[in-house]
Amino acid sequence: MRARLLAVGWAMAFIALALILCGIIFQASGFSAPDMFASILDGAFLSDGALLHDLRWACPLFVSATGVIVAFRCGYFNVGTQGQFYLGGIGAAVAVAMLPHAPAVLVTLAAILAGMAFGALWAFWPGWLRIRSGTDEVITTLMGNFIAVLLLVWLTSGPLKDPAGSGQVTSSPPIPAAIRISTDTGVSGWIIALTVLVGVVTWILVNRTAFGVLGGLAGRNPVMVTWQGARLSRLGLGAFLFSGATAGLAGAMEVLGPDGRLVSGFSPGHGFTAVLIALVANLSVSGSVVVALFFGGLASASLYLPVIAGLPSAAIDMVNAAIALFITARSLPAWLRLPKRNRS
Amino acid sequence: MASALACDGLTVRFGAFTALSAVSLSFPRAQIHAVCGQNGAGKTTFARACAGLLAPSEGSIRIGDALLRGGQVKDARAAGVELVHQSFALPPSFTIAEAMEFGLTGQRGAVFTRRGLQARWQPHLDALGVEAKPSTRIRDLPVETQQAVEIARALAGNARVLILDEPTAVLAPSAAAALFQRLTRLRDSGVTILIILHKIREVLAVADTVSVLRGGRLITGPDAVADLTAGRIAAAIIGHSPAKAGDAATETAEDIGALVGTDLPHGHRHTVSAPHAIATLAGITTKPAADGQSLQDISLTIGAGEILGIAGVEGNGQRPLVEVLAGLVPLTAGSVTLDGTAVTGLPLAARRNLGLRIIPFERNTEGLSLSSPLWENFAARGLLAKSALSLINPSALRRAAHAAFQSWDVRFTSVDNPARSLSGGNAQKVILAREMDDAAKLIILAQPTRGLDLGATAFVWQAMRDARDRGLGLILISSDLDELFDISDRLVVLQGGRVAGQFAPPYDLGRVGAAMVGDH
């Protein structure tokens, strides 16, 4: 318990350092740092409806982060969350397009399951390559992100394109309200229920199943669990599929929820923020609830800043990047100490 | 006459741990000085401090008349002190000539030709009686030649003091004898030799003086070996309470002899009441692994209620043998039977369900996950027998680990602490507690006592004998012949991946040693 509190304390200290660094840069580029932080705080948590916006962004981020937690704990650095998230959105949109006459509830369920399946598929091939031939999953999952972005662009400007659309950003036709799981606010019973369900399931998986303990051991020392008779390939593939499915679910939640259609290039920073949440929370499921709310706040502030305060929203990207930098620096010594992974 | 090397109040601390405490010693020139002690007594720390690899926390080291600046290997080497490491430090891909040249300092920017290097180093090798071509790569040399080259490398400069850290640990008995002859010749030519040794027998065979360390303190020395007996050296090494294992204080005189290496035990004939095969290997052949080891047509039977010792120079098939039994390497020929079931194609998990247990070679990587909590390390075996998604109760698992550690006399503070918080002996007990459970039928122990102090070693031996008496089959793989002779009911020698001999007590060192190096 003390160790966990200490870890949280360290994470807070690093976030504070990141904010100080941002403050210096704001000040140096001609903005008033106190004003900037006040506006971010306003946009994130204090202004009317800020907490609702916060939740709107935090829910899908948390869902994706749970998958990152499981994969990273097992020692697989799946950083393809963004691609798996997009595939999830595509899966949901495809399911909706293919079931034009089915009852709304069934379409919704089918779309959610299709999103999870597509996301899992996008994690399956890097997982397979990793386990079969030792291909570095960091490279393959990153590359998968680029392919997924292009797939999304192609689908939204080709097969799934809304013929009535005239905006600059191409998208699929709007999804009927009966099929959607929330209005444009992005907060609804469905979304909260799905998020809570994923949180509970992941917490049980990590803390109360044989998979959780063995995965944790395998992540720290795969050689040891091999000598205990574990089949790393099964354990690893399970971790990849779970993380892909959760990211896919988050994508489906976006498309069926606040977005209401498949938009080209939606939520571009989602996957990396999810990885960041998992790392800041020290791969703890309960910790990432709080951290996801914090990053959800930053995400809503980035929409608030240019509109209400007339400040550049890039400030939020900078805050995110600075936090990423400091958190990675914190985890780096621990990663370097990890025993070499078995490449058999 | 000034001493070759002297230390005064030498103290080395690692954090709160004092590895060496106020050691004052001076070694006369042109003699062979043995330094003895149990594991953890501070022998290697002493060697490394004298070679300038470690900076003393207090005290000083003098080489001849010059004071050694602590932690400066270059200074030590310039003063003529060379260390031959326990595990060899020559780059495996270098040729002998390259390695020799590489070892010399102060030649920055020079240009070499292969032919020139070979011509330069051939006479040096010849003069030291090293029978190898300078163009041979280090990795292609047998281990005793590697060691000879390492010594030749150390003597390439103007070494006046040679420090050898447990040089016999990796050698077959005959190679050890050859090493001792080489060292004696060097001594006669005026080199002072400090040799860290584990076995009193070897001390008596080669050294002029002996110094004994215990718990980081100098107990006695340097004393002339001629005035000493094995018993007195053993008493100095062990101290007043040899049985630190507490309850397991049942060592026989022969056990103590095997622990400190006074007289080689010959083993006891242990009669098995109803012998039946617990495991059989028939005609096992494997492909060479990355380290070049493989098995060639190995056939063995391990009976219930016996300890089968596997002897051999390291790297002669011991690791593939364990991996074959574990099902971690594919076979090109042969079959494995475990407790009457053919398991040739079965994975390790299925073999473990049949009662196979393994204490692997590398305690800290293969045996434990050092950064994971102790209870997880203990629970791993049980959890793997369940399906992955079965629910667990962590507090029950913690309690089970706690109870098991207490009954195995593990010294730990909390089961939530990482495994790295334990000493080597306690870490090994955690592995024993996990692997020597009631359902075990065949236990493979690979170097189970390496690096353990005397008390922990005696504990492991007792646990093995208890398991044997309960009717389990045990396979002990060790490079310590004293250990093998003392507790094996039967001995198999591996050489070049083949069974080079099978022996029953009383064991004969000459015959076992000959089988280890392939002389029949």
Report DSSP letters for B128-169, one per residue.
TT--S-TTSBGGGS-HHHHHHHHHHHHTSS--SEEEEESGGG
Of B243, B260, B286, at which residue does a domain stop? B243
Q: In sequence order, what DSSP letters do the residues of A50-69 get, joined into one string?
A: HHHHHHHHHHHHHHHHHHHH
Best A227, A237, A341 member to test B by mutation, with max B CBs in 10 Å, is: A227
In this prediction, residue B519 carries a pLDDT of 64
Same domain, B50 and B179: yes
**Cα angle at B187 between B223 and B103, to 5 degrees?**
115
Backbone angles phi, psi at A183, to 5 degrees: -80, -170
Instruction: Determine whether the interchain pair A214/B383 forms a contact, defined as Cβ–Cβ distance below 8 Å.
Output: yes
Q: How far is B347 from chain A (nearest CA, A)?
A: 7
Both structure tokens of B351 = 């073999």
Q: How far is B478 from chain A (nearest CA, A)?
A: 19
Of B199, B228, B243, at which residue does a domain stop? B243
Of A207, A228, A235, the CB nearest to B380: A228
Under the banding of pLDDT at 50, 70 and 90, the label for residue A330 is: low
Residue B363 located in a structural domain: no
Q: In sequence order, what DSSP letters do the residues of B414-472 get, joined into one string?
A: -TTSBGGGS-HHHHHHHHHHHHS-TT--EEEEESTTTT--HHHHHHHHHHHHHHHHTT-
Same domain, B225 and B255: no
> In chain A, which residues have their Cβ closer than 8 Å to the Cβ of B435?
none
Same domain, B298 and B419: no
Estimate to the nearest angstrom the gap between the alpha carbon of B501 and the chain centroid.
22
Same domain, B42 and B18: yes
Q: Which of A290, A288, A45, A293 is nearest to A37 (CA)?
A: A45
CA–CA gap between residue A271 and residue A268 (Å, rounded)? 8
CA–CA gap between residue A196 and residue B22 (Å, rounded)? 62
CA–CA gap between residue B319 and residue B316 (Å, rounded)? 8
Residue B260 located in a structural domain: yes
Please state the rounded mean pLDDT for residues A97-118. Answer: 95
Classified by CATH at the fold level, domain A37-337 comes out as: ABC transporter involved in vitamin B12 uptake, BtuC (1.10.3470)
> In chain B, which residues have their Cβ closer than 8 Å to the Cβ of A220?
369, 371-372
In this prediction, residue B108 carries a pLDDT of 60
Q: In sequence order, what DSSP letters do the residues of A153-192 get, joined into one string?
A: HHHHHTTT--TT--SSS-BPPPPPTTT-SS-TT---HHHH
Residues A132-171 have pLDDT tens digits of 888 999 999 999 999 999 999 999 988 888 888 777 788 8
Same domain, B35 and B165: yes
> In chain A, which residues have their Cβ closer than 8 Å to the Cβ of B376?
213, 216-217
Q: In chain A, whose CA is at the least distance from the CA of B372? A: A217
CA–CA gap between residue B262 and residue B204 (Å, rounded)? 9
Instruction: Determine whether the interchain pair A213/B376 forms a contact, defined as Cβ–Cβ distance below 8 Å.
Output: yes
Q: How far is B355 from chain A (nearest CA, A)?
A: 12
CA–CA gap between residue A204 and residue B393 (Å, rounded)? 11
Of B379, B384, B391, the CB nearest to A230: B384
Same domain, B78 and B66: yes
How confident is the prediction for chain A on average, in pLDDT?
Answer: 89
Best A207, A217, A283 member to test B by mutation, with max B CBs in 10 Å, is: A217
Q: Which of A96, A98, A99, A100 is nearest to A111 (CA)?
A: A96
Query: In degrees to the nearest 10, what's the CA dihedral of B105, B106, B112, B116?
Result: -70
Residue B227 located in a structural domain: yes
Q: Which of B200, B257, B204 is nearest to B36 (CA)?
A: B200
Same domain, B98 and B123: yes
Residue B183 located in a structural domain: yes
Same domain, B63 and B208: yes
Residue B486 and residue B265 in contact, taking contact as beta carbons nearer than 8 Å: yes
Under the banding of pLDDT at 50, 70 and 90, the label for residue A13 is: confident
User: Which range of residues forms the domain containing residue B255?
Assistant: 244-355+440-520
> In chain A, which residues have their Cβ closer than 8 Å to the Cβ of B380?
213-214, 217, 224-225, 228, 230
Instruction: Determine whether the interchain pair A227/B366 forms a contact, defined as Cβ–Cβ distance below 8 Å.
Output: yes
Same domain, B315 and B175: no
A343 part of contact set with chain B, CB < 8 Å: no
CA–CA gap between residue B67 and residue B288 (Å, rounded)? 50
Tell me the Cα Rg of chain B.
Answer: 24
Same domain, B228 and B260: no
Instruction: Determine whether the interchain pair B394/A207 forms a contact, defined as Cβ–Cβ distance below 8 Å.
Output: yes
Whether the per-residue pLDDT at A71 is higher than 90: the answer is: yes
B368 against A306, higher pLDDT: B368
Domains contained in chain B, number: 3
Averaged pLDDT in 10-residue chunks for chain B of 520 residues? 85 85 92 88 89 89 83 83 79 86 68 83 84 86 82 83 86 83 90 90 91 90 86 80 43 73 73 76 89 88 93 89 94 93 93 95 92 95 90 95 92 91 88 93 94 84 93 93 91 93 89 80
Percent of chain A with pLDDT over 70: 94
B170: domain CATH number?
3.40.50.300
Q: How far is B91 from chain A (nearest CA, A)?
A: 21
Instruction: Determine whether the interchain pair B392/A339 forms a contact, defined as Cβ–Cβ distance below 8 Å.
Output: no
Residue tagged 């805050």 (tokens): A319
Residue tagged 């709304």 (tokens): A104
Residues of B at the A interface (Cβ-Cβ below 8 Å)?
326, 328, 347-349, 351-352, 358, 360, 362, 365-372, 376-377, 379-381, 383-384, 386-394, 397
Same domain, B123 and B200: yes
Of B352, B365, B390, the CB nearest to A210: B390
Backbone angles phi, psi at A79, to 5 degrees: -105, 25
Of B420, B438, B456, at which residue does a domain stop? B438
Instruction: State whether ipTM is beyond 0.90.
Output: no
Q: In chain A, whose CA is at the least distance from the CA of B390? A: A209
> In chain B, which residues have their Cβ closer than 8 Å to the Cβ of A238?
388
Best B372, B377, B414 member to test A by mutation, with max A CBs in 10 Å, is: B372
Same domain, B11 and B59: yes
Residue B366 located in a structural domain: no
Residue B206 and residue B183 in contact, taking contact as beta carbons nearer than 8 Å: yes
Q: How far is B233 from chain A (nearest CA, A)?
A: 39
Q: How far is B395 from chain A (nearest CA, A)?
A: 10
Backbone angles phi, psi at B404, to 5 degrees: -65, -40
Whether the per-residue pLDDT at A283 is higher than 80: the answer is: yes
Of A223, A224, A229, the CB nearest to B347: A229
Q: In chain A, whose CA is at the least distance from the CA of B416? A: A1
> In chain A, which residues have their Cβ closer than 8 Å to the Cβ of B343?
none
Estimate to the nearest angstrom the gap between the alpha carbon of B233 and the chain centroid.
21
> In chain B, which residues have their Cβ closer than 8 Å to the Cβ of A205?
389
CA–CA gap between residue A107 and residue A100 (Å, rounded)? 8
> In chain A, which residues have their Cβ closer than 8 Å to the Cβ of B326?
227
